[in-house]
């Protein structure tokens, strides 16, 4: 595994820094694009890394996976009455589909879906972003995980589009709490900073039928894990999910901080990170690294 990751790092070297860092969140625009890390965690918890795998970065939309874990814990199957499980085929922050579809977002991994999930969690917890931080600390085994408050505040200042989605859903009766309060928690979740090693560990349960070998606890049932991986495969990479399935063939979730988590069911959880993004908003070098990895050792689930 170590020599495989070293080879991938050499192979993607020319791509590192190609693309654009996310600039619509001002606090993320200053990140050095010339960084790359990868970590693979097996079902026993053994981690192999290459590059800057212990450098923390803004997890952004990868937080939607952990938020969904919290929501499933409280709502079980009834959760799917308020959010769908179909790919959207539209940008992650699109508003148009919500109007046509009566305020029910297509899936929990587009922003509208994640906001409904955040609203549901808000109805059950006094401080959702603290619960989320504690969850990722526990799953990653890293008690130092923190949200970057500059990033969270910068996102809050530029919240107009996310706020519009939440208010539109409120108009359809699919958003119950105060919009600003939910956004505050949502942005703190997105602003959590974790490394590739932290995220590979924290998502290990997805490769392990819901069981986290680090905490020796079931995070999700086997059934819910299967459902999570299916939605990650169809909707985890914005509107590039189809070509990600074609090129990489693994359930995955990306974030505009340049991180991507991916799952080889029954075997490994992975995280790759490089901040410069392709036109679809996914890490350019990260997607290339995952493609090379699955091609070399035939890890695709298809």
Our CB check for ligand GLU shows the closer of 159 and 170 to be 159
221-250: contacts with ligand GLU (CB under 6 A): none
Tokens of 57: 């970065």
CA distance 199 to 270: 8
Our CB check for ligand GLU shows the closer of 190 and 270 to be 190
Q: Please provide residue 265's backbone torsions phi and psi, each rounded to the nearest 5 degrees.
A: -55, 135
Tokens of 137: 């600390």
**Residue from the set 256, 260, 287, 289 that interacts with ligand GLU by CB under 6 A:** 256
E strand intervals along the chain: 37-42, 47-51, 57-58, 146-147, 192-194, 211-212, 217-218, 252-254, 259-264, 268-273
Our CB check for ligand GLU shows the closer of 112 and 139 to be 112
The SS3 of residue 216 is coil
Q: Please provide residue 254's backbone torsions phi and psi, each rounded to the nearest 5 degrees.
A: -110, 165
Dihedral of alpha carbons 235, 236, 241, 246, sign: negative
Our CB check for ligand GLU shows the closer of 60 and 225 to be 60
Total residues at interface with ligand GLU (CB under 6 A) = 10
42-61: contacts with ligand GLU (CB under 6 A): 60-61
Our CB check for ligand GLU shows the closer of 31 and 218 to be 31
CA distance 135 to 12: 32
Minimum CB separation from ligand GLU for residue 90, in Å? 13
The SS3 of residue 204 is helix
Query: Contact at 8 Å (CB) between 193 and 58?
Result: yes
Minimum CB separation from ligand GLU for residue 34, in Å? 20
Minimum CB separation from ligand GLU for residue 95, in Å? 13
Minimum CB separation from ligand GLU for residue 212, in Å? 24
Please give the span between the terminal C-alpha atoms of the chain, in angstroms, as a whole number.
22
Would you give the binding string for ligand GLU spanning residues 157-176, x where CB under 6 A is met?
-----x--------------
Our CB check for ligand GLU shows the closer of 9 and 112 to be 112
Minimum CB separation from ligand GLU for residue 261, in Å? 12
For residues 174, 178, 182, 187, the Cα torsion angle rounded to the nearest 10 degrees is 120
92 binds ligand GLU (CB under 6 A): yes
Under DSSP, the state recorded for 277 is B
Would you give the binding string for ligand GLU spanning residues 58-87, x where CB under 6 A is met?
--xx--------------------------
Would you give the binding string for ligand GLU spanning residues 125-164, x where CB under 6 A is met?
------------------------------x------x--
Under DSSP, the state recorded for 115 is H
**Residue from the set 121, 131, 182, 190 that interacts with ligand GLU by CB under 6 A:** 190
- Residues at the site binding ligand GLU, with contacts judged by CB under 6 A: 60-61, 92-93, 111, 155, 162, 190, 255-256
């Amino acid at each position: 595994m170590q020599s495989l990751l070293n080879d991938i790092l050499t192979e993607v070297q020319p791509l590192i820094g190609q693309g654009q860092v996310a600039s619509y969140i001002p606090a993320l625009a200053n990140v050095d694009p010339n960084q790359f890390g990868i970590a693979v965690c097996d079902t026993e918890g053994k981690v192999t890394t290459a590059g800057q795998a212990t450098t923390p970065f803004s997890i952004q939309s990868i937080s939607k996976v952990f938020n969904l874990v919290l929501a499933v814990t409280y709502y079980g199957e009834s959760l799917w009455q308020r959010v769908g499980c179909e790919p959207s085929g539209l940008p992650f922050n699109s508003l148009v589909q919500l109007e046509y579809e009566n305020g029910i977002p297509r899936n929990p991994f587009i922003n509208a879906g994640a906001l409904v999930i955040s609203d549901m969690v808000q109805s059950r917890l006094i401080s959702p972003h603290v619960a989320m931080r504690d969850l990722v600390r526990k799953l990653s085994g890293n008690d130092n995980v923190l949200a970057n408050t500059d990033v969270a505040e910068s996102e809050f200042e530029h919240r107009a589009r996310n706020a519009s989605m939440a208010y539109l859903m409120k108009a359809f009766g699919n958003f119950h709490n105060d919009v600003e309060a939910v956004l505050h928690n949502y942005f703190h979740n997105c602003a959590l900073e974790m490394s590739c090693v932290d995220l590979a560990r924290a998502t290990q349960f997805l490769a392990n039928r819901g069981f986290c070998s680090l905490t020796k606890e079931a995070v999700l049932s086997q059934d819910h894990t299967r459902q999570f991986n299916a939605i990650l495969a169809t909707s985890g990479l914005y509107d590039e999910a189809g070509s990600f399935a074609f090129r990489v063939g693994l359930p995955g979730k990306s974030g505009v901080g340049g991180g991507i988590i991916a799952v080889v069911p029954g075997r490994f959880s992975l995280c790759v990170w490089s901040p410069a993004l392709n036109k679809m908003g996914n890490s350019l070098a990260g997607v290339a690294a995952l493609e090379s990895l699955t091609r070399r050792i035939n890890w695709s689930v298809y």
